[in-house]
Amino acid sequence: MATLSRLLVRGGGLRRGLGPGPWGAAAAAAAPVTNTATRSAAHFTFVSDPVPTQYGPTQKMNLFQSITSGLDNVLAKDPSAVVFGEDVAFGGVFRCTVGLRDKYGKERVFNTPLCEQGIVGFGIGVAVTGATAIAEIQFADYIFPAFDQIVNEAAKYRFRSGNLFECGGLTIRAPWGCVGHGSLYHSQSPEAFFSHIPGIKVVIPRSPVQAKGLLLSCIEDKNPCIFFEPKILYRAAVEQVPVEAYHIPLSQAEVLQEGSDVTLVAWGTQVHVMREVATMAQEKLGVSCEVIDLKTILPWDIETVCKSVVKTGRLLISHEAPVTGGFSAEISSTVQEECFLNLEAPINRVCGYDTPFPHVFEPFYIPDKWKCFDAIRKMINY
Amino acid sequence: MAAVAAALGRLGRRWSGLGRCGPRGLSRPHLATASGPRRSLSASQEFTSLDEKPKFPGASAEFVDSLNFIQPNVISGIPIYRVMDRQGQIMNTSEDPKLPKDMVLKFYQKMTLLNTMDRILYESQRQGRISFYMTNYGEEGTHIGSAAALNATDLVFGQYREAGVLMYRGYPLELFMGQCYANAKDEGKGRQMPVHYGSNIHHFVTISSPLATQIPQAVGAAYSFKMAQGDRAVICYFGEGAASEGDAHAGFNFSATLECPIIFFCRNNGYAISTPTHEQYRGDGIAARGPGYGIMSIRVDGNDVFAVYNATKEARRRAVAENQPFLIEAMTYRIGHHSTSDDSSAYRSVDEVNYWDKKDHPISRLRHYMVSKGWWDEEQEKAWRKQSRKRVMEAFEEAERCLKPKLENMFTDVYEDMPPQLKKQQESLGRHLKMYGEHYPIDLFDK
């Protein structure tokens, strides 16, 4: 299983991990990842939301620290909760579990053998006994060996047993999305594969505050959940995050910016691209965009998206994953059915191309702000 | 050469089978050097020493100065533990579990009741009354012997050929039938194919069709039991074909490194559908894989209910006390076809099947034992056959009369709560049936 390339990137994760900002210390500088001389900036600009005040005291955290904070809250409150996967014991290759083993013991935060199908199968078993299982798959790219356990087992456990048995206590976390140089197996966005599986939930956050609140909802949800963490944001996104546990509801999209001309839908890092595109469209074209973060891929919030499209009459959906069979197709088809009379232009999808995710060509591959901007321009002139 | 011997000798302590295929004349004193702390050594190992001892973190072993591949021993494999012979005579009295008469009678009655149910449901499928069936012919002893050695709350993960375990735990005939007929009494709500049983009150996790997926799951459940410190074990059944799946490798390895109180129970009946074992593996069956994972392993005669009972009992005791996995490989023969969708005469001889049916069957062996004890005779046999058949037929007829589950059961339990889009789909079916209901078998379903 791609051992060599994985080792290389693991090394990279470690190297970065030795820098400033371990869990509990001040957050590392939010510099975008700059890896080669040919790339001078990330393809997005992280924009944090207003500081949430309703959940008590906050602390500056980047995305990996907000994940650790969430796991810390769960392990403290739920004595049955266990955290496991490849290399989570020393803190994880992305530092998401730093300090948890020392705090909660090696029986609750532990390494497994290197075997993804085993990790998910094991997690299902823990959850079947009623305990809370939080499994980590090291990269979303490596979740496929566990596809059978997810599709045929986790997703169908409750249904096939007539609710005699279930594995709702299972949450699978996995780093997700492009990272500038991750190539074929450290960049993938596999959410569409999982969107075709009745019985699981698929959730993707856009920021540290969202990540912690949505992760805690996944862990407490009584259904098996897959939680994809945009790894490019692990260090790049920093904001004030509540220290105590709080929950952001699943299956609820969020309108981040109201607008009247076009609805823009995205999730994960791409939300930040869309925010910038909305500003560009306003400034350069005088177009008012409504920006929606979908957050939950399955079951998704049809109502919020359709309500917006009824108002704007236009829809642009954008995701990093390849366009064919991507989740934008599902959104597009549903909106077309629900809002046919309101649509003033064809729904547009700006996505990755139908190729594997390339290494050196990444700047040309991703659905960046210019590609999205151009789509809006054409849509308005339709 | 001495170092080779030491290395092999060390392996041999865990698995004498491999020792036998190595060089002769194992040097016993070397065994002493192999004992003592192992894995813990690597962490504190000093790297300043100039001696020639291996320092690799991946294994605890001596160097050797001659080239020798380790040869698998498949000709003379791990021996098959048995307690009674084919005539039901105890062979070694010190191994006799000396079970009381009522318990042995229960063994026999559960095995034969299962056999009777198999015959009737098999015929029922042949007549198209149920869609599918898998019999347990030849495996009755493995189910009953192992189930009897467990605590009632030990969690069972299995496949589709462990009905005897449920039978032993008192799962009612009505529910076996309800599942196979997918009627309104089926606790699984009519969603799965026949013989995919499950019962939470009998601690028997619902069967699924994908092979071996239950193996790493059972390990996770065992880990959870260890954490809860409640004296519960997990047993996980699978066939020798399923053991070829990647999930079997996952489960075995995780159970050892994570120190889980689990019994892996492999039913090796010689065939995975039509595939004979020489096309399934080339090692010494499944039992020989156990030591490679660091798992305590044994092979038993699956037609000997006492051998199965003894091995399971001891494995269970030690698994819970020591938090370590055990592997039992029970050698049996699949006397029936793989399933009702299979005709096994296409790939094996009738003579072969007849041998196991007539000469070496778990039920007849136990009957011999009971007769020799004076606990059973021809008259009791006749009466019990008649009574068990009557009970099965009653459950069968009742199951057939019962309506199918309510249609709403097609939509519930996908998630704990029904998402709005699924609710819409359910309503859409409702509207559809209002207009086109006459084209659907609505009358067969509960309202």
Contacts of A149 in chain B (CB under 8 A): 213, 216-217, 247
Asked if the model's pLDDT at residue B294 lies above 80, the reply is: yes
- Residues A218 and A222: their CA atoms lie apart, in Å, by 8
Residues of A in contact with B412 (CB under 8 A): 163
Are residues B337 and B378 both part of a single domain? yes
**E strand spans, chain A:** 58-62, 82-85, 109-111, 133-136, 170-176, 201-203, 225-230, 238-242, 254-257, 262-266, 289-293, 296-298, 315-322, 348-352
Reduced to 3 states (helix: H, G, I; strand: E, B; else coil), residue A63 is helix
Taking one residue from A and the other from B, the number of pairs with CB-CB distance under 8 angstroms is 159
pLDDT of B147 over the 90 cut? yes
Is the pLDDT reported for residue A27 higher than 80?
Answer: no
> A299: nearest CA in chain B?
B419
Does one domain contain both B231 and B316?
A: yes
What predicted TM-score, i.e. pTM, was given to this entire model?
A: 0.90
| Residue B334 and residue B215 share a domain | yes
A191 is catalytic: no
Alpha helices in B377-419 (DSSP H): 378-401
Give residue-wise pLDDT tens across range B231-265: 999 999 999 999 999 999 999 999 999 999 999 99
Confidence of residue B341 (pLDDT cuts 50, 70, 90): confident
Nearest residue of chain A to residue B256 (CA atoms): A113
Give residue B46's pLDDT band: very low, low, confident or very high (50, 70, 90): low
- Check whether residue B340 and residue B440 sit in a common domain: no
Catalytic residue among B124, B297, B339, B388: B339
Confidence of residue B51 (pLDDT cuts 50, 70, 90): confident
Q: What Rg do the C-alpha atoms of chain A give, in angstroms?
A: 20
- Same domain? For B429 and B339 the reply is no
One domain, residues B317 and B434: no
Inter-chain residue contact B258 with A110, CB threshold 8 Å: yes
Q: Would you say residue B36 lies in a domain?
A: no
Residues whose CB falls within 8 Å of the CB of residue A70, separated by 6 or more in sequence, listed in order: A211, A212, A215, A216, A219, A245
Do B130 and B228 lie in a common domain?
yes
Mean pLDDT over A316-339 rounds to: 98
Assess whether B363 and B229 both reside in one domain.
yes
Catalytic residue chosen out of the listed positions A43, A86, A116, A290: A116
Nearest Cα of chain B lies from the Cα of A333 at a distance, in angstroms, of 14
Name the band, by pLDDT with cuts 50, 70 and 90, for residue B49: low
Whether B138 maps to a domain, the answer reads yes
Q: Give CA separation, A10 vs A25, A137, A262, B180, B246, in Å.
A: 22, 13, 41, 50, 24
Do B246 and B314 have their domain in common? Answer: yes
Looking at the complex, report in whole angstroms how far the Cα of residue A3 sits from the nearest Cα belonging to chain B.
Answer: 17
Residue B34 belongs to some domain of the structure: no
User: How many angstroms separate the CA of residue A57 from the nearest CA in chain B?
Assistant: 33
Q: What is the CATH number of the domain that holds B360?
A: 3.40.50.970
Q: Can you give the residue range of the structural domain that contains B431?
A: 407-444
pLDDT at B431: 98
Is residue B8 scored above 50 in pLDDT?
no
* Confidence at residue A21, expressed as pLDDT on a 0 to 100 scale: 35
When pLDDT is cut at 50, 70 and 90, the band that residue A5 belongs to is very low
Residue that has been written with the tokens 């959906």 in this structure = A317
Q: Enumerate domains of chain A plus CATH numbers.
A: 53-242 (3.40.50.970), 254-381 (3.40.50.920)
Give the nearest partner residue to B254 out of A112, A128, A149, using CB atoms: A112
Tracing tokens 């009623």 back to the chain, one arrives at A130
pLDDT at A59: 97
Query: Is B85 domain-assigned?
Result: no
Same domain, B260 and B315: yes
Q: Is B416 a catalytic residue?
A: no
The chain A residue lying nearest B154, using CA atoms, is A129
Please give the Cα distance from A189 to A324 (Å, whole number).
Answer: 13
A48 DSSP 8-state letter: P
At A274-313, the pLDDT tens digits run: 999 999 999 999 999 999 999 999 999 999 999 999 999 9
Q: Are residues B390 and B414 located together in one domain of the fold?
A: no
Average pLDDT taken over every residue of chain B: 90
Contact A372, A277 (CB under 8 A): yes
- Of B123, B322, B394, B427, the catalytic one is B123
Nearest residue to A74 via CA among A194, A191, A203, A173: A173
- Number of structural domains in chain B: 2
How far does B419 lie from chain A, in Å, by closest CA?
A: 7
Q: What is the mean pLDDT of residues B210-221?
A: 98
Shared domain for B305 and B419, answered yes or no, is no
| Residue B352 maps to a domain | yes
Among A153, A160, A303, the residue with its CB nearest the CB of B191 is A160
Closest partner residue to A160 (CB to CB) among B208, B221, B412 is: B208
User: How far from chain centre, in Å, is Cα B163?
Assistant: 10
A-chain residue closest to B219, CA distance: A122
Instruction: Provide the 3-class DSSP secondary structure of residue B115.
Output: helix
| Upper half-sphere CA count for residue A278 (Cβ side, 13 Å) | 29
User: Does residue B206 surpass a pLDDT of 60?
Assistant: yes
Name the closest residue on chain B to residue A118, using Cα atoms: B250
Q: What pLDDT does B50 receive? A: 64
Q: Which residue has the tokens 């001309």?
A: A261
In a domain, B135, yes or no: yes
Q: Which chain B residues are Cβ-neighbours of A299 within 8 angstroms?
A: 415, 419-422
pLDDT band (50, 70, 90) for residue B52 = confident
Q: Tell me how close the Cα of A148 comes to any Cα of chain B, in angstroms.
A: 8
CB contact under 8 A, A117 and B216: yes
Return the pLDDT at B160: 86
Q: Give a yes or no: residue B4 inside a domain.
A: no
Inside any domain, residue B14 = no
The CA distance from A371 to A323, in Å, is 14
Among the options B202, B203, B338, B361, which is catalytic?
A: B338
Let me know: does A160 contact B208? Beta carbons within 8 Å: yes
Above 90 in pLDDT, residue B29? no
A86, A136, A166, A186: the active-site residue: A186
Mutant choice from B410, B415, B426 vs A, greatest count of A C-beta within 10 A: B415
What residues of A are in contact with residue B325 (Cβ under 8 Å)?
none
Give the pLDDT confidence score for residue B44 in this predicted structure. 52
Model pLDDT for residues A222-245, shown as the tens digit of each residue? 999 999 999 999 999 999 999 999
Q: Look up residue B90 and give its DSSP letter.
A: B
> What is the C-alpha to C-alpha distance for residues B243 and B284, in angstroms, rounded to an integer?
13
The pLDDT tens digits for A59-96 are 999 999 999 999 999 999 999 999 999 999 999 999 99
Q: What CA–CA distance (Å, rounded) separates A79 from B323?
A: 20
